[in-house]
């Protein structure tokens, strides 16, 4: 699709994303640190663009940004479309930002076409969605609803070692209000929350579909500082029967969980099991030593709570079995969890109808990754997500979303919001 064939909103979204890419480039990708320079630039950029459209901008105590295009009856609960603007280090430009750009594009189309919705439309740009910066699940969107655990404010940013509260305060926000649970918006003031996001897997590419309607978001648990502890020994002198080899213990753990994963798939359950980091102390390991300590992270996800419980139970059994077999022990370290989230069947139905009216293919797809939308769904707010086709996954510089595909999501969401008040309430 040529640029001329895009909606005016699609062209605006493309321009915003290009500006973001140029301003936050950090070879080989882009970096927008949560509560840092790149995220700040992105928030300032979208605020300026929204104000040009006549939207009213405000921030809450945590720095989340609300851009409101007033409806005919501001007392009605609003439609909120949102995502985040931070990124992983050296990541891609579209993860999160494409959703905020899509929201502004819909706003621009409403203004261009002279359409005033019955209720407010709010584009929400959240803070700190990427857990790489703070070991937390969705602290920005949790703060939107006044749900952030006060202890989370003591979490330390991975690059600076300073707390979330410190960084909020440095950016001019009010962590004390966040600690008291002051919300940025009342949950009862939201009629629907919709997040547009690039797909982070290959389903839409395989289906040759530009957009997809998300059915649910996986929950999960993560061990971020686990260890397998054995004993260091000479590689030649230590016989097999006397070894306490942390490498072999870890290898048995990986193999055992893969057997469980195979069983889950045979039974029709979806899950992912990832050992994201494996490391040893370079001052202690060596080519002629049995390794006495190995550190690792473990990330397990599924949209089914029962599946997560099953994997956790099997994990604990494997740790005991391997410990006895290999003469090693395991220290799990801190455990972080987040709940699965089901998208609103009513909103999914509305998106289906909008796609049919536009003669647009929009298959239903699951989300294995976490998103801010999970916070809103977990709070009982009717929630939906649209995925946009994207090659090469995400969290890497090679994200490859086409603006023409994002434009399809913009068209779909525009139809969704204009039809909203003609449908039954969710």
- How does DSSP assign 228-259, residue by residue? EE---EETTTS-GGG---HHHHHHHHHHHHHH
Together in a domain, 350 and 368: yes
Given 323, 338, 353, which residue is the final one in a domain?
A: 338
Of 406, 417, 373, 425, give the one whose Cα is nearest residue 194. Answer: 373
| Confidence at residue 111, expressed as pLDDT on a 0 to 100 scale | 97
Together in a domain, 128 and 272: no
Q: Match 């009216």 to its residue by tokens.
A: 357
Together in a domain, 137 and 177: yes
| Confidence at residue 368, expressed as pLDDT on a 0 to 100 scale | 87
Together in a domain, 244 and 97: no
Together in a domain, 350 and 318: no
Give the residues across from 330 on adjacent strands: 228
| Confidence at residue 4, expressed as pLDDT on a 0 to 100 scale | 62
**Domain with 388 in it:** 3-218+340-422
Of 142, 145, 167, 164, give the one whose Cα is nearest residue 155. Answer: 164
Number of H helices, E strands in the chain: 12, 19
Buried b (16+ CB within 10 A) or exposed e, 77-113: bbbbbbbbbbbbbebbbbbbbbbbbbbbbbbbbbbee
Task: Give the chain's domain count.
Answer: 2
Together in a domain, 246 and 271: yes
Mean pLDDT by 10 residues, the chain (426 residues): 80 98 97 98 98 98 98 97 97 97 98 97 98 93 98 97 98 98 97 97 95 95 96 96 98 98 96 96 93 97 94 98 98 92 96 97 93 95 98 92 98 96 60
Find all residues with CB under 8 Å of 190, minimum gap 6, and list them.
77, 78, 80, 376, 381
| Confidence at residue 423, expressed as pLDDT on a 0 to 100 scale | 61
Together in a domain, 228 and 204: no
Cα–Cα dist 61/361, whole Å: 40
**Furthest C-alpha separation in the chain:** 82
Of 144, 28, 100, give the one whose Cα is nearest residue 398. Answer: 28
Find all residues with CB under 8 Å of 280, minimum gap 6, and list them.
291, 293, 294, 295
Find all residues with CB under 8 Å of 415, minimum gap 6, and list them.
354, 357, 358
For position 53, which CATH number holds? 3.40.630.10
Together in a domain, 358 and 291: no
| Confidence at residue 137, expressed as pLDDT on a 0 to 100 scale | 86
Cα–Cα dist 309/329, whole Å: 22
Given 286, 304, 338, which residue is the final one in a domain?
A: 338
Give the residues across from 108 on adjacent strands: none
Together in a domain, 271 and 292: yes
| Confidence at residue 417, expressed as pLDDT on a 0 to 100 scale | 97
Given 338, 368, 388, which residue is the final one in a domain?
A: 338
| Confidence at residue 88, expressed as pLDDT on a 0 to 100 scale | 97
For position 297, which CATH number holds? 3.30.70.360
Together in a domain, 186 and 259: no
Together in a domain, 344 and 322: no
Together in a domain, 7 and 132: yes
pLDDT, tens digit (0-9, with 9 covering 90-100), for 181-236: 999 999 999 999 999 999 998 999 999 999 999 999 999 999 999 999 999 999 99
């Amino acid at each position: 699709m040529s640029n001329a064939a895009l909606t005016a909103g699609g062209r605006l979204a493309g321009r915003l994303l290009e500006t973001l890419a140029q301003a936050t480039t950090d070879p080989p990708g882009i970096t927008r640190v949560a509560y840092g320079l790149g995220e700040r630039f992105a928030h300032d950029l979208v605020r300026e663009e929204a104000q040009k459209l006549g939207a009213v901008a405000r921030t809450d105590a945590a720095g989340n940004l609300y851009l409101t295009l007033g409806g005919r009856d501001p007392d009605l609960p609003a439609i909120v479309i949102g995502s985040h603007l931070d990124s992983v280090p050296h990541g891609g430009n579209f993860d999160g930002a494409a959703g905020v750009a899509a929201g502004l594009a819909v706003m621009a189309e409403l203004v261009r076409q002279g359409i005033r919705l019955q209720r407010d439309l709010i584009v929400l740009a959240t803070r700190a969605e990427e857990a790489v910066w703070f070991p937390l699940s969705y602290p920005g969107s949790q703060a939107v609803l006044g749900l952030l655990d006060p202890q989370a404010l003591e979490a330390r940013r991975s690059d600076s070692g300073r707390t979330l509260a410190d960084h909020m305060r440095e950016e001019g926000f009010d962590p004390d209000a966040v600690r008291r649970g002051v919300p940025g918006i009342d949950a009862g003031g939201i009629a629907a929350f919709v997040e547009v996001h690039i797909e982070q897997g290959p389903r839409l590419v395989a289906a040759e579909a530009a957009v997809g309607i998300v059915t649910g978001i996986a929950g999960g648990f993560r061990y971020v500082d686990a260890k397998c502890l054995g004993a260091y020994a000479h590689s030649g002198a230590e016989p097999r029967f006397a070894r306490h080899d942390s490498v072999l213990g870890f290898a048995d753990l990986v193999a055992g969980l893969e057997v469980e994963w195979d069983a889950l798939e045979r039974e029709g359950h979806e899950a992912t099991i990832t050992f994201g980091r494996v490391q040893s102390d370079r001052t202690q390991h060596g080519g002629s030593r049995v390794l006495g300590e190995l550190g690792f992270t473990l990330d397990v996800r599924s949209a089914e709570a029962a599946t997560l419980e099953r994997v956790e139970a099997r994990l604990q059994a494997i740790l005991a079995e391997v410990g006895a077999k290999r003469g090693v022990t395991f220290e799990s370290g801190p455990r972080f969890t987040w709940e699965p989230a089901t998208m609103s069947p009513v909103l999914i139905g509305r998106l289906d109808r909008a796609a049919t009216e536009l003669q647009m293919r929009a298959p239903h797809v699951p989300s294995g990754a976490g998103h801010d939308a999970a916070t809103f769904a977990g709070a009982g707010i009717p929630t939906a997500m649209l995925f946009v086709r994207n090659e090469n996954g995400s969290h890497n510089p090679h994200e490859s979303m086409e603006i023409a595909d994002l434009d399809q999501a913009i068209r779909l969401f525009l139809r969704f919001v204009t039809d909203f008040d003609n449908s039954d309430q969710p």
